[in-house]
Every structure is written in C-alpha cells, then in structure tokens.
C-alpha cells in the first residue's frame, strides 16, 4: 500500500467568469522515503494539488477525487477532527513565503513548541528541548537563544529553516514543501535543498517538492510529475523523464535550461511560444495543443494516458521516445550522497 | 524597549506643552480679561486695579510661564464663578466622568469585538449583514436621542433603572450604554476588517497546517494580530467619550467634568475651561501613550520602530 494514493484529483474554483478547472484528473502515488517533485509554471495547479492533500484549499475551492488516501486513510471521508489530527502530526507542510508564514506576534520557540504540544502530551520542557534539537539539526546556530526571538528578527533563510524545523516537530511520514526556496537567495537555496534532502533520508519521510525549477528536481527528487494547465502531462522516475522526455511540454521545459559547456554565451535559450490557455469554462482535449509544434486534429478530442516504460507515463498522442539527443546533462549524478 | 518608551514620552510631553499654549491663549484671545473679571459697570480705575492684582499687566510670555508653573502643580487658580479653587472643582467632578468613560468603553468593546470577530468568521452570512446594519444604526442615532429613549423605556416605563444622577452604580448603566453605543460601529468594523485580513494571511494557514483547532487559530493566532489597530482606536474613542460626555452628562444630570465644562463655558469661567481642556488633553495623550505601549506588547515588530 503506497503512503499516498491520489487518483483522479480534480479541483474546481467558482469565479465570476465561470468554473475555473484548476486541477484536472491528477493521479500519482508516493511510497515512504520517496521524493516526488511536482513541476510546472505558475497557474499549473501544482500548489493547489499540494494544498488539497493537506485539506488547506481556499474555502471556495471544490475538491473531488476517485480516491484520496494517506496511509490507507480515506481523506475524503475523514472528519474535520481526524484531518486536524493528521495535519502537523503525520503530514506537514512548508510554505513558499518564509517572510509571512510565521506569526509576527509570537516567538519562534512558542510556535515550534505549539506544533508538538498540539499532537503529543508533552510538557513545556520536552517541547522546548525538541525545538532546540531540531533548530540545531536544520543548521541554526545558538538555537536555544533563538527560541525567544520573534520572526521579524530573523532573515528569510533562517525563517525558512524554522519553518522546516516546525514541520519536523512530530516526525511526519509525509512532508510537503511548496516552493521552499523560491523566496531565498541562490546560495541559501542550495543549502535549504541539501538540508531537505538530508532530512528526508535521515527521517525516512516521503517528500513532495513543489517547484518550477528543474535544477531543483534533478538534485533532490526520485520521481517527477510535470503539470501543465491543471493536468499531469508526464510522470515517472527522474532519470526516465529527463532522459527520455516524451511529452512536447516536458521537452520544451528541458530545452529552456542552460547547459554548461553546451549553451554558448549569447545564444538564446529554448522558449515555449504562446500562453497558458484559460481554464475557465468547459475544457476538452490537450490543453497544450495551441502551443505545440506537433499538434494534430486528434489533439482536440482525447488525451491518452500512455506508458513509456514501467512507471513512466505521459499524456500525448505522439509515440514515446526511448532516448533524447538533446537531454541536458542535469546534475542527476550528485543527487544522492554515496 | 526603553528607547521606545523614552521616545514616546518625549513626543507626549511636547504635545502636552503645545496644548498648554493653546489653553493659555484661549484665555487671552477672548477679549480683555481684566474687563471681564471687573464686570461691565467697573470704572477704569477698578479695571486697572484688577489688571495689576491678577498680574495681567506683565508680558505675555511671563504670564504663560507663571501659569504653566502653577498648572504643573495642579493649581489653576480660582473659579471666577464658584467660590472654590479650580483644582477642587475638577477633583470633585472628575471621578464621575472617568467612571462613565471607562464603563462606556468597556460596554463598547464587549459588544463590538466579539461582534466583529463573529462577522468576520461568518462573512457574508446573515450575522455579518445584521452586524453591519447594527453599525449603520449606531452611527445614525444621535447620543442625546438614544439617551432620552433609554430613559423613557427603562427608567420611566419599565422602572428598572434610575432616571438621572450619579449616586449608585445603577445610575451609570443607561448613560454608559448611551455613550458607549457611539464607539461600537467603528470598533466593530475595525475588528471585522482586521480579522478578515489576518484570517487570509499566510501564518493562519501555517497554524492550520500544524493541525491547530479553530478556537486556537482564531483567538491565539488571529485575534491578537487583528486587535492591534483596535487598541489605538479604543484609546482615541475613550478621549472622544470624555469630551462627548458633555451631552450624556447633561441628559442624565450627572455632575461630571463635561457638565462642569458646559457650565464654565456658559459663564465665561475661563480658569475652569482652561483646567478642563488641559486635563482632558493630558488624559487623552496619556491614553495614546498607553495604547502605544499596549501595541508594542501585542506586536513585537512595533518595539523597534
């Protein structure tokens, strides 16, 4: 039984112009210890997908799924109380805005301890010790003295480390990180990513990493799910998807990455012409077809779900490729510490 | 924190000084004082004598210095009308007004804050709409009319509460409602809007992601941040209530500071007017300072500012 089983997840948001089909029929599974990267551009539905798992969607949003199970628990049938008990305990989330995701009125120590004391019957001392331990673990120096500090006294990088420590307070089985490095400096980004990867292995957690950065995917993830306009267009092990990208959108994304040694200075990077279509109103066919070089009449009618190699699926009428000459030499090799 | 306190104190002191200049000039802008004191039938010699006796022939700046030095020792001279010192008059009337203001503010906050929270949480529901209508009514109804209506209903017809005076706590119930009513709409709306903003913020989502239950999310994480602007408003409203208590004290025949001010203005009893202005302004400034400190305690980010 997978830790997480998402089957045909759909999220609709009523707007003044009509129903916005933000996420359409997204399916994936995740095992313990795996890292899934959900990749896509803004508005592709990747953040909403992760919020849907935590049941933290905006109240207007309508979530449906054929099946939505966490460790066998049916999340759709679970009571509000049951879901509150899961959140923060067995599944935790790290948000992309470290500057605004901590409450300005309470100290770091209070907000860390609270995460543990909500789910475990522990005294203040135990909660405090755990907070210090985790702050040290996420690389914060003078951890004990940080407990009395307020969020505004910390830099963005430190706040994001605090957020990560907060997510780890109850040793969750699943941790969801929504663009955890987007708001940070490049040098800090690398540190935070390495930290997440190390912690994921140390605690044996499953990790879902929501990102638009394929470099991040290559460094951290074992599985990747590429989303476009609310749909999952290609998914599979990172080596398979990056080595033989079979959906034209995935290939377009990979072409847009500069490759050291191959991309010459001044040479334009690959771009995908056109814009993401509106997701308001009824949708049919492949939503990438108006930007796709290979678009055919058949693209307007059906979206196939095809298997490239076992575990590697894609949603395009084109025949899957087995290798791709243009595959960028992303840093797949330094992904796991040997 | 100490620097913050000192800076705020310095600002407050300078405001008090500015008010004192205005209060002092008030006295001299309203015509020849010696003439006013001596009376319309006084001879020029008598006027000159009064002028010398009250020190009104000295330069303005010297008079101001002397007056300020006295005022700092809470000596505002003698009332022109009452056979009493101004200080004694004020001390005698002050408790009534302060009690009335405090209870009124309490009544207003106890009604407005829960209502604002409820309206924000149940946004768009009938509760929210009813609260907003209640607010519009609150602002439309004048204080004196509400006071008289309350008297007719609860004191005359139902006979539950006394009509007028300030002898017992029961005497304060109707005036407090009449005076507090005025502050409810503003406080309620600010609470509601503050809660709406805060509830949509990222840290509330973080609190929910921790699995915290609604009461804790609402009261620990949301309300404390939403209430910061309300504290400043409450201080301002309390100042308005001290000033606005003139009407309520008149309607309910309460012997308070407002009533005294009204009498003093009618009788051109300037020392009393000056004292009341200075006192109310000082209380008002003190309240603003208190609100600043309270906010600094509620929101640690303010402490560095």
Among A85, A103, A150, select the one facing B211 at the smallest CB separation.
A85
**Rounded-to-integer distance, Cα A14 and Cα A2, Å:** 32
Collapsed DSSP state (helix, strand, coil) of residue A93 = strand
Beta-carbon neighbour count of residue A326 at 10 Å? 11
Collapsed DSSP state (helix, strand, coil) of residue A19 = strand
Q: Is B213 on the interface with A (CB under 8 A)?
A: yes
Q: Do the beta carbons of residue B188 and residue B230 sit within 8 Å?
A: no
CB contact under 8 A, A118 and B201: no
Note the pLDDT of residue A330. Answer: 60
Q: Is B305 on the interface with A (CB under 8 A)?
A: no
**Rounded-to-integer distance, Cα B248 and Cα B206, Å:** 47
Percentage of chain B lying above the pLDDT 70 cut:
99
The DSSP H or E segment spanning A207 is strand A206-211
Q: Is B124 on the interface with A (CB under 8 A)?
A: no
Average pLDDT, chain A: 87
Residues B112-130, mean pLDDT to the nearest whole number: 90
pLDDT tens per residue across span A156-215:
888 988 999 999 999 999 999 988 887 777 787 888 888 888 888 888 899 999 988 888
- Which residues in B lie closer than 8 A to residue A152 (C-beta atoms)? 300-301, 304
Q: What is the phi/psi pair of residue A58, to 5°?
A: -55, 150
DSSP letter at A267 equals P
Residue B134, judged by CB atoms within 10 A of its CB (0-12, 13-18, 19+), counts as middle
- Which residues in B lie closer than 8 A to residue A92 (C-beta atoms)? 209-210
Domains (range + CATH), chain B: 31-73 (no CATH), 90-304 (1.10.3720.10)
How far is B257 from chain A, CA to nearest CA, in Å? 39
Higher-confidence residue of B42 and B10: namely: B10
Among B205, B212, B213, select the one facing A56 at the smallest CB separation.
B205
Interface probe, candidates B194, B210, B225, chain A, greatest A C-beta count within 10 A: B210
Note the pLDDT of residue A329. Answer: 59
Q: Do the beta carbons of residue B162 and residue B219 sit within 8 Å?
A: no
Instruction: Outline where DSSP puts E strands in A59-205.
Output: 62-64, 67-70, 73-74, 91-94, 174-178
Chain A positions with Cβ closer than 8 Å to B: 54, 56, 84-89, 92-93, 95, 97, 100-106, 114-115, 118-119, 150, 152, 163, 166
Among A88, A104, A119, select the one facing B300 at the smallest CB separation.
A104
**Rounded-to-integer distance, Cα A225 and Cα A23, Å:** 13
CB contacts < 8 A (A, B): 68
Q: Is B145 on the interface with A (CB under 8 A)?
A: no
Q: Which residue has the tokens 């599974």?
A: A29
Collapsed DSSP state (helix, strand, coil) of residue B40 = coil
**Rounded-to-integer distance, Cα B116 and Cα B118, Å:** 5
DSSP letter at B301 equals G
Q: What is the band of B194 on the pLDDT scale with cuts at 50, 70, 90?
A: very high
Note the pLDDT of residue A65. Answer: 92
Instruction: Outline where DSSP puts E strands in chain B.
Output: none
Note the pLDDT of residue A51. Answer: 93
pLDDT tens per residue across span B207-243:
999 999 989 999 999 999 998 888 888 888 888 888 7
Search chain B and give the residue with CA nearest A54.
Answer: B209
Mark the ranges of chain A whose per-residue pLDDT is less than 70.
260-262, 327-338
Note the pLDDT of residue A11. Answer: 94
Q: Is B211 on the interface with A (CB under 8 A)?
A: yes
CB contact under 8 A, B301 and A102: no
CB contact under 8 A, B211 and A89: yes
pLDDT tens per residue across span A208-241:
999 888 888 888 899 999 999 989 999 999 988 9
Q: What is the phi/psi pair of residue A325, to 5°?
A: -60, -30
Among B209, B216, B300, select the one facing A93 at the smallest CB separation.
B209
Residues B160-184, mean pLDDT to the nearest whole number: 81
Q: Do the beta carbons of residue A134 and residue A168 sit within 8 Å?
A: yes
| pLDDT of B94 over the 60 cut | yes
**Rounded-to-integer distance, Cα A285 and Cα A303, Å:** 6
Which of A236, A258, A253, A190 shows the shortest CA–CA distance to A37?
Answer: A236
Which of A67, A3, A78 shows the shortest CA–CA distance to A36?
Answer: A3
Note the pLDDT of residue B47. Answer: 83
How far is A321 from chain B, CA to nearest CA, in Å? 41
Note the pLDDT of residue A336. Answer: 45
DSSP letter at B76 equals -
**Rounded-to-integer distance, Cα A284 and Cα A277, Å:** 12
Beta-carbon neighbour count of residue B2 at 10 Å? 6
CB contact under 8 A, A88 and B212: yes
């Amino acid at each position: 039984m997978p830790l997480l089983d998402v089957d045909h997840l759909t999220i609709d948001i009523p707007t003044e112009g009509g129903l916005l089909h933000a996420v359409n029929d997204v399916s994936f599974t995740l095992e313990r210890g795996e890292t899934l990267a959900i990749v896509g551009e803004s508005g592709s539905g990747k953040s909403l997908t992760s919020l849907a798992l935590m049941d933290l969607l905006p109240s207007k949003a309508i979530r449906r799924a054929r099946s939505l199970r966490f460790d066998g628990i049916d999340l759709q049938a679970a009571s509000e109380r049951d879901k509150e008990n899961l959140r923060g305990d067995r599944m935790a989330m790290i948000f992309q805005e470290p500057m605004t995701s901590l409450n300005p009125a309470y100290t770091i120590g209070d907000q860390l301890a609270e995460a543990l004391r909500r789910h475990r019957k522990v005294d203040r001392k135990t909660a405090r010790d755990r907070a210090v331990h985790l702050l040290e673990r996420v690389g914060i120096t003078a951890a004990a003295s940080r407990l009395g500090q307020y969020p505004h006294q910390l830099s963005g990088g430190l706040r994001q480390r605090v957020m990560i420590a907060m997510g780890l307070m109850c040793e969750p089985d699943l941790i969801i990180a929504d663009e955890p490095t987007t708001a940070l400096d490049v040098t800090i980004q690398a540190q935070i990513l390495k930290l997440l990867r190390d912690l994921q292995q140390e605690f044996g957690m499953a990790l879902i990493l929501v990102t638009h950065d394929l470099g991040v995917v290559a460094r951290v993830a074992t599985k990747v799910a590429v989303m476009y306009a609310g749909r999952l267009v290609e998914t599979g092990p990172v080596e398979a998807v990056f080595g033989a990208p079979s959906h034209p959108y995935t290939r377009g994304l990979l072409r847009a990455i500069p490759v050291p040694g191959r991309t010459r200075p001044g040479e334009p990077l690959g771009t995908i012409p056109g814009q993401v279509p509106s997701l308001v109103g009824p949708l049919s066919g492949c939503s990438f077809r108006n930007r796709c070089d290979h678009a055919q009449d058949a693209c307007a009618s059906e979206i196939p779900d095809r298997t490239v190699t076992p575990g590697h699926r894609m949603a395009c009428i084109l025949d899957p490729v087995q290798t791709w000459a243009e595959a960028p030499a992303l840093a797949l090799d330094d992904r796991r510490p040997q | 924190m100490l620097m913050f306190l000192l800076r705020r104190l310095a600002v407050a002191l300078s405001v008090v000084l500015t008010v004192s200049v205005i209060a002092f000039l008030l006295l001299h802008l309203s015509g020849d004082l010696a003439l006013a004191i001596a009376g319309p039938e006084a001879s020029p010699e008598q006027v000159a004598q009064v002028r010398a006796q009250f020190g009104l022939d000295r330069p303005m700046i010297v008079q101001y210095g002397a007056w300020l030095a006295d005022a700092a020792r809470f000596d505002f001279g003698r009332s022109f009308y009452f056979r009493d010192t101004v200080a004694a008059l004020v001390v005698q009337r002050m408790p009534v007004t302060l009690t009335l203001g405090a209870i009124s503010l309490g009544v207003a906050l106890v009604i407005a804050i829960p209502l604002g929270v409820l309206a924000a949480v149940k946004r768009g529901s009938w509760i929210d709409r009813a609260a907003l209508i209640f607010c519009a009514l609150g602002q439309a109804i004048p204080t004196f009319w509400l006071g008289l209506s309350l008297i007719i209903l609860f004191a005359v017809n139902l006979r539950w509460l006394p009509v007028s005076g300030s002898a017992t706590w029961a005497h304060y119930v109707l005036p407090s409602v009449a005076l507090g009513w005025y502050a409810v709409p503003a406080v309620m709306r600010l609470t509601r809007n503050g809660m709406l903003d805060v509830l949509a913020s990222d840290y509330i989502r973080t609190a929910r992601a921790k699995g915290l239950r609604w009461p804790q999310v609402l009261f620990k994480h949301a309300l404390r941040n939403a209430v910061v602007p309300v504290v400043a408003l409450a201080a301002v409203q309390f100042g308005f209530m001290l000033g606005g208590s003139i009407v309520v004290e008149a309607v309910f025949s309460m012997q308070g500071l407002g009533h005294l001010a009204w009498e003093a203005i009618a009788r051109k009893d300037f020392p009393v007017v000056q004292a009341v202005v200075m006192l109310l302004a000082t209380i008002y400034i003190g309240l603003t300072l208190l609100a600043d400190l309270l906010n600094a305690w509620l929101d640690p980010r303010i402490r560095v500012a």
